[in-house]
Structure 1
Amino acid sequence: MKRFKTFSFMLLTIILAACATVPLTGRKQLSLVDESQLQQQAAQAYREFLGDRATIVISNTTEAQRVKRVGGNIANAITRYMQQNGYGDKYNYAYEFNLIQSKEMNAWCMPGGKIAIYTGILPVTMDDAGLATVMAPEISHAIAGHSPEQASSG
């Protein structure tokens, strides 16, 4: 019985130590994965995705420039907000925005701000505001620390 209590206490201590608070939201989350390590892994996976033969990255079109411009505006706004509200460089990600040729209506953001927008979603977005409406929630997942939480929960 004493071993069980000792084990239970140690397990509870580990779990409590792994609970982190997201500075921006104040939300508690279980985070067994180091965020900086996850960002490095995500950056590597993003490079591999972009380098894959099946991935067609579009870069010299007005649509691609719009993705980069709108994404850059969101990233700049986030950076200004964080600095003005005392978060310093905590969320100073190396944002990257790429347009991917695909009929799929999709957009996603990896930890650290690696974002992909698929051409299939552009007709739905119609303009800069529509594109920002798609991109901003994707970026917010990275800022809210959802990836380390998901990695921790398996």
Structure 2
Amino acid sequence: MTRSMHRLLAIILFAVALAGCATSPTGRSQLKMFSPQKMAAMGDQSYAQLKQKTPIDHNAADNRFVECVAHAITAVPGVEQAADGSWHVTVFKSKQINAFALPGGNIGVYSGLLPVTKNGAQLAAVIGHEVGHVLAGHPNERMSEQYATQGGLSVLSAFLGGGSSGGGQAIMSALGVGAQVGILLPFSRAQESEADLIGLELMARAGFDPRQSVQLWKNMTAASNGQQPNPFLSTHPSNNNRIQALEAHMNKAMQLYQQAPRHPSCPHP
């Protein structure tokens, strides 16, 4: 690619970035191009679709456990502001070891996660992490990054004559890979690390022992049989890196835990 093409793509991305600059709770620069109302509407729509397509876990013990932990996390001062009214919690019947939170105040936990989270504090680490994504505006940031990157590549494709020539197509293909590895994945890893730390603080302020977050990731490692993707090509930090980062912030988290007004008891099913 010529120097002028590099310059053009840089100008495009810089112009889009100026249109939506923001700062995350940890001081990291963000690109956020969508309004909170728009994000909440999209979150509500996605949540409704998931509930239509995914079986619901109606086990009473599972639901009591998840709701106990989720309500304690969302009761932390400041968390309610991220919900469009109040937080909604659904336990999905699935073997997935996963959970999520969506803008608008929507939390989903897959039943496959429950055997890996051995107690309420470990589930709190997961839910706190997912709620942390919403509090930090990561869904908005992810959509904005994707939109900006695809927009920049589209304009450059037009500049190259639509990518119709063999050389133009090869350049566009290389740009797509370069954008994915060089832009989108690093931002996603940064978001995951940020959500870990926000979640650590949330669980501690909610009265859950933050030291259990470290044990959670040890459980995750065991559940994956030690197989983890290459950190450079993964959207998530490695479990070992996550544990090191959590341990580095544990002193502050323990202080918040000791100051918490209550310590919830959420029996594991």
The secondary structure found in structure 2 opposite 1:99 is strand
Corresponding residue for residue 18 of structure 1: 20
Q: Distance in 2 between matches of 1:151 and 1:10?
A: 17
Deviation at 1:31, TM superposition (A): 1.1
Higher strand share: 1
Corresponding residue for residue 140 of structure 2: 148
Q: Distance in 1 between matches of 2:110 and 2:142?
A: 23
> 1:37-76 alignment to 2 at 5 Å?
37-52=38-53, 55-76=54-75
Q: Percent identity?
A: 32
Q: Which blocks of at least 5 consecutive residues in structure 1 are unaligned? A: 1-7, 84-88
> 1:59-138 alignment to 2 at 5 Å?
59-77=58-76, 80=77, 82=78, 90-93=81-84, 94-138=86-130
TM-score w.r.t. length of structure 1: 0.76
* Residues 1-50 of structure 1, C-alpha deviations (whole Å, 9 max, x = no match): xxxxxxx999856532311223x433321112223201111101101110
Of the structure 1 ranges 92-101 and 117-126, higher mean CA displacement relative to structure 2 is found in: 92-101
Structure with max Cα Rg = 2
* Residues 77-101 of structure 1, C-alpha deviations (whole Å, 9 max, x = no match): 1xx2x29xxxxx7434531111111
Aligned residue pairs total 136
Q: Distance in 2 between matches of 1:72 and 1:45?
A: 21
* Residues 67-126 of structure 1, C-alpha deviations (whole Å, 9 max, x = no match): 11110000001xx2x29xxxxx74345311111111111111112331111111101102
Higher helix share: 2
The secondary structure found in structure 2 opposite 1:58 is coil
TM-score w.r.t. length of structure 2: 0.46
C-alpha change, 1:69 and 1:11, in structure 2 (3 Å) is closer
Q: Distance in 2 between matches of 1:115 and 1:127?
A: 18
Q: Distance in 2 between matches of 1:139 and 1:40?
A: 17
